Every structure is written in structure tokens, then in C-alpha cells.
Amino acid sequence: MRDSFNKKVNSVVIREPDFLVMATQKSGCYWVSALMDAHPEISCFPSMYGGQTGVGEGHVFDVLGSIDDDGGKQFIKSFTKTRDGFFADLVHYLHQLSRHKLYDLFRERYSQWCNLYRKKRLVGEKTAEYLLHLDIVDYFYPKIKKLCIIRDPKDRVVSFHFHQLRKQQKTEEKITDEYVLSYCLNRIKKEYEILLNYNGNMHCFTYEALTKNPHQVLRDILDYLEVKSTKEIVNQMIAEASFENLTKKDRILDEGSRKRGEENRYSQYRKGIVGDWKNYLTPKQTKMIDTIIFDLEKKVFQKYNLNR
């Protein structure tokens, strides 16, 4: 039954995932995932970029959410070719079952998939884009806990610019007014409106607060997840998920450890600092972002009791 936390499938108890990590885009959710995975009671995946720990981002709810947009093309491609084929046998049900019955099949399989990585008492999966599909998330798991990290829109504009350059999705080195306007209207504004209108189970916090006061922010997160939050545990989490340690473990570039602020624009962990936007945005662009986002952000911060 959907209201049962545990499900019995083929005589094996399948526990539903305990939480999800999501984010406003380019807000540091790999950092959050690594922090959570460093807790002695929590498994959180993926904790490193690019599937370096054996599994990548799930992208389950956002791919399911794409069905109405493209008729199922992304659904078929994604679930057939990725996640080691774990969902591949469900693809042919796309046009055979109602949407809710299809979701029911995927709920059972997604729970099984998460349990493959349940090395500790709790397990959670991280995909930033789940924020855009909270309706599907809540259909799957109405009471699941959600962690959402939010970041200064100005730093996000800059971070996504470098992300696109790294992925060769754009070639223009300069941040243009048109790019800033498009990203604010099509992504940041949309995410803030979702957060403002959402009334489900979610714990929000900011990249800036996590950077400045990690002990308090982590204690609040761990209290929300109902796990131990001793000083020793929190110190261990901060050390294991430090920028220096994440860059050291990053096998994609194999560059060794970097300190926060030491830039490698080709890395997922490019710089890791607050306020880098001041080095790239013009006064006009700064004002543009504030004009579009400020009032919405203020309401979101009030709703979730946040500050920078």
C-alpha cells in the first residue's frame, strides 16, 4: 500500500528512500550530497560528480516529467541506456498503462534502486532538477523529506556560464546581458515561484549560510533528518566534504587538491566561493538580476526562514 513505509516485493522488504537532495541549479548540491554521505548513519548518492562512486544522478522524476513535452522520447532514451539498464524493462509500458499505473511501477523500481546504495540506516538520492517536478515526487512519496540548497542568483548566473563553457554548450566567453536576462527569467524566476508555491515537506538552506556557518546549518539538517548531530560527527562531515578533499578525490581531472578560491574552470568544482559574481557581472547586469529576482527571493526567504 502507498501509505506503508515498507513494501514487500517478491518476499523481500523494500524500503522507500528516506530523503532527496535537490537544488536551485548551480547551487552546490554535490557538496550537500558529499556532506550527507559522510555521516555515519546516512548514505547519499551520488557524492562525486560524473558517477565516480559507481552511480550518477538519478534523473528519474525529471525524465518522467518530460513525457508530455516530447511524447516520451527522452523517457525511452534515458531509461533504456542509463542506470545500468535497471529501469529498461519498464520502458515498453509507456503507451500501455495509464500515467498513474506507470508511476506506480516506477515507484517500486526506484525504491529498489535506491536500496542498492543503502549502505547505512538512511539513504537519499541527489538530482538538482527534482525541484522542478515536486508534483511527481510527492505522488511517489507524499511524506518524503527533501533537502533544497539555494544560492545567490548572481553567483548562479556566473556558475552556469562556466558550466556551459565547460560543456561546450556556448562559446561566448563574455557574459552578455541577453544571457543574464534569459537565465533569470527561464530558470531562476521559475524555481523561486515553485518554492514560493510549494507547501510540502522540505528543508531549505543557503549556500552562503552553509559556507559561513556550516556547523549550525548541518545541525539543522540533521535534526530535520532525525539523526545524530554531535560536534564530532559534524566536524567529520565538514572535513570529508571539504572543497580541498572533493577536488583531491576528483578523478576526472586528477589535478590534486585545491583550496577554496583556487580556480579550475574545467572542473565541476570550479572555485567554491561566495561572491565570485563581482568579478564578472557589470553594474547593469547586477541591477537586472535584482530587478527580476529581489521581490521573489525576499518572499521565498521569509517563507523558509532563510538569510544570506
What does the DSSP 8-state code read for residue 185? I
Does residue 210 belong to any structural domain of this protein?
yes
Provide the pLDDT confidence category of residue 14 given band limits of 50, 70 and 90. confident
pTM, full prediction: 0.94
Residue length, the chain?
Answer: 308
The whole-angstrom separation of Cα 117 and Cα 74 is 25
In a domain, 173, yes or no: no
Q: What's the structural domain count of the chain?
A: 1
209 domain-assigned:
yes
Report yes or no on 167 lying in a domain: no
In a domain, 165, yes or no: no
What does 62-125 look like in DSSP terms, one character per residue?
A: HHHTTHHHHTTHHHHHHHHHSGGGTTGGGGGGTTTS-HHHHHHHHHHHHHHHHHTT--SSEEEE
Does 214 fall in a domain?
yes
**Position 137 in a domain:** yes
Q: What is the CATH number of the domain that holds 18?
A: 3.40.50
The answer, yes or no, to whether residue 10 has pLDDT greater than 60, is no
Whole-number Å distance between alpha carbons of 91 and 105: 10
The pLDDT tens digits for 165-220 are: 999 999 999 999 999 999 999 999 999 999 999 999 999 999 999 999 999 999 99
> Which ranges of the chain does DSSP label H, i.e. alpha helix?
29-37, 60-64, 67-70, 73-81, 99-115, 134-140, 153-166, 177-183, 189-197, 207-212, 214-225, 231-240, 243-249, 283-303
Query: Measuring CA to CA, which residue among 124, 149, 119, 12 is closest to residue 57?
Result: 124
Domain ranges, residue 223 = 6-152+200-265
Whether 288 maps to a domain, the answer reads no
Task: For residue 150, count CB atoms less than 10 angstroms from its CB and return exposed for 0-12, middle for 13-18, buried for 19 or more.
Answer: buried
The whole-number pLDDT of residue 12 equals 59
